[in-house]
Amino acid sequence: MSRNPFDQEHAILDQKIGTGLSKLGQAIRSQAWKGAGSQGLTPTQGQALATLAAAPGNAGLRLAEVAEALGVSRPTASEAVTALVRKGLVVKQPDPADSRAVALSLTQAGREQAGKAALWPDFLHAAVESLDPAERQVFYRALIKMIRSLQRRGQIPVSQMCVTCRYFRPGVHDDPERPHHCAFVDAAFGEPELRLDCPDHVAAEPALQDENWSRFLEQVVPPLNDPQSSP
């Protein structure tokens, strides 16, 4: 009996997906170097700026929180923050919640620079636009699954995703385009609106996270309408 030469290819699909993601990672790192370098920053400094810009409220963040968000050690975060303070982009102030602690926040110049840093992933937009709407939706759900899996293993910085939020109510509405509910803003929303980095996120208890995750996975994702092909 002849053997299908593609059988082995099929078996190593997982490996190929890993290789593809690794190539995307290389492209992102290389662009981050270029983007940061053009502004006289290292990628870690640029990421620290973006992290401080995304911090909820005006209280700033502690060094440990910046280190955790970046997935780096405290000394590495401290080095980046010290350089940013020296450049006048970040300021250290007493933490309003604990006067013995120090909170880090952006200066006006830091906010402007952070806005530019946040644009670095823009180079990916053209690649994402090459996917049709249905592919984007499947890809986004797959990304959420992978980020959650890496997060549970402690292999990626914690992301403030809807699927781990105490305000998330998956699949509680009959509307297939807006099946989920955010109890923080008291509004229904759909798959494309699921957030990865929400400033209002509050981590749910582990049991609620697991329960919500199971309900989220039960949801059948309706195909998105392609606005370009709509009449």
Binding site for ligand SF4 (CB under 6 A): 160, 162, 165, 167-168, 182, 184, 195, 198, 200-201
Q: Which is nearer to ligand SF4, 148 or 195 (CB)?
A: 195
Q: Rounded to the nearest 5°, which phi and psi values hold at 160?
A: -85, 70
Q: CA-CA distance, 21 to 128, in Å (whole number)?
A: 14
Q: CA-CA distance, 196 to 147, in Å (whole number)?
A: 9
Q: Which is nearer to ligand SF4, 109 or 203 (CB)?
A: 203
CB of 193 to ligand SF4, least distance (A): 8
Give all strands (DSSP E) within the chain, no chain letters: 90-95, 98-106, 168-169, 180-182, 187-189
- The DSSP call for residue 40 is T
CB of 71 to ligand SF4, least distance (A): 20
CB of 164 to ligand SF4, least distance (A): 8
Q: Which is nearer to ligand SF4, 32 or 165 (CB)?
A: 165
Pairing of strands 168-169, 98-106: unpaired
CB of 183 to ligand SF4, least distance (A): 7
Q: Which is nearer to ligand SF4, 45 or 164 (CB)?
A: 164
Give every CB contact of residue 13 below 8 A, 6+ residues apart in sequence: none
Q: Which is nearer to ligand SF4, 56 or 115 (CB)?
A: 56
Give every CB contact of residue 186 below 8 A, 6+ residues apart in sequence: none
CB of 85 to ligand SF4, least distance (A): 30
